[in-house]
Amino acid sequence: MSKLASADSGVPTLAVSTVIFTLRPNQAGAMQLAIALVRRIKKPYLGLWALPGGPLSMNEDLATAASRNLLETTGLHPRYLEQLYAFGNLDRSPNDLAEDRVVSIVYWALVGSEEAAEAVEGENVQWFWADQLDPLAFDHSLIVEYALWRLRNKLEYSRLAHGFLGERFTLAQLREVYEAVLGRALDPGNFRRMVQGNGAVVATSERLEGTRHRPPKLYRYDSSIDLTDQGPLNTGERK
């Protein structure tokens, strides 16, 4: 509990943060979901890991700000970007700092796994496995948990997986993305039918060579409709 109305104590500050997802191969060589975090270099929560973010400047859209701080932290452009939620509880910050109250509008983004391999990583910016995170600064653990939930839910009825892949891909690669995000194995046959059934994906004439078995067809997404259903708000911005 702090001051009374805004008259004397100012107004809440507005910030934009981003949960950045990618897929990276783990030790076993399997794809696994990872997120990018930055280390706090000041109080509160000095030294802890947190979501990248910053203030919203006067002349940029919310999504632009999210995209910008993605670029600034990882050097990457998002393949998919969507607003997650606005977090503004009074107790987000430790009590003694309640005077600078921050409302964070959080976005979540997907970046391709090839690009992610070249992303800047350093002392204060690193990738972490999404399913084994230590507690983060502020309410960021909750935010990540919610972002994961949304990603998994949304994957099932849209074409999000494209965000992790290149232009052309085999159905096995696509299935690997699904399996990594959902965390369980899928039947290859049924997966094939599922994904072909809704017209999301079209076969190209090319095949992927160099495997030590029958060469699989390469597919691409049907660019006509981008069914990332957000209803009237269809702006699942791709780079």
User: What is the Cα–Cα distance from 144 to 139, expressed in whole angstroms?
Assistant: 9
Q: Give the range of 51-59, 74-82, 145-153, 186-194 binding DNA by CB under 7 A.
A: 186-194
**Which among 181, 146, 141, 137 has a CA at the least distance from the CA of 163?**
181
Minimum distance from CB of 222 to a copy of itself (Å)? 24
Q: Give the range of 142-150, 185-193, 194-202, 216-224 binding a copy of itself by CB under 8 A.
A: 142-150
Minimum distance from CB of 187 to DNA (Å)? 5
Under the binding rule (CB under 8 A), the answer on residue 150 touching a copy of itself is yes
User: What is the Cα–Cα distance from 112 to 126, expressed in whole angstroms?
Assistant: 16
Using CB atoms within 10 Å of the CB of residue 184, give its burial: 0 to 12 exposed, 13 to 18 middle, 19+ buried. Answer: exposed
Under the binding rule (CB under 8 A), the answer on residue 124 touching a copy of itself is no
Under the binding rule (CB under 7 A), the answer on residue 48 touching DNA is no
Q: Which does 167 bind (CB under 5 to 8 A by kind): a copy of itself, DNA, none?
A: none
Q: Taking CB under 8 A as the criterion, which residues in 184-223 touch a copy of itself?
A: none
Q: How many CB atoms lie within 10 A of CB 186?
A: 14
Under the binding rule (CB under 8 A), the answer on residue 145 touching a copy of itself is yes
Using CB atoms within 10 Å of the CB of residue 40, give its burial: 0 to 12 exposed, 13 to 18 middle, 19+ buried. Answer: middle
Q: Taking CB under 7 A as the criterion, which residues in 151-170 touch DNA?
A: 170
Q: Give the range of 143-151, 163-171, 189-197, 203-211 binding a copy of itself by CB under 8 A.
A: 143-151
What backbone torsions phi and psi does residue 10 show, to the nearest 5 degrees? 80, -170
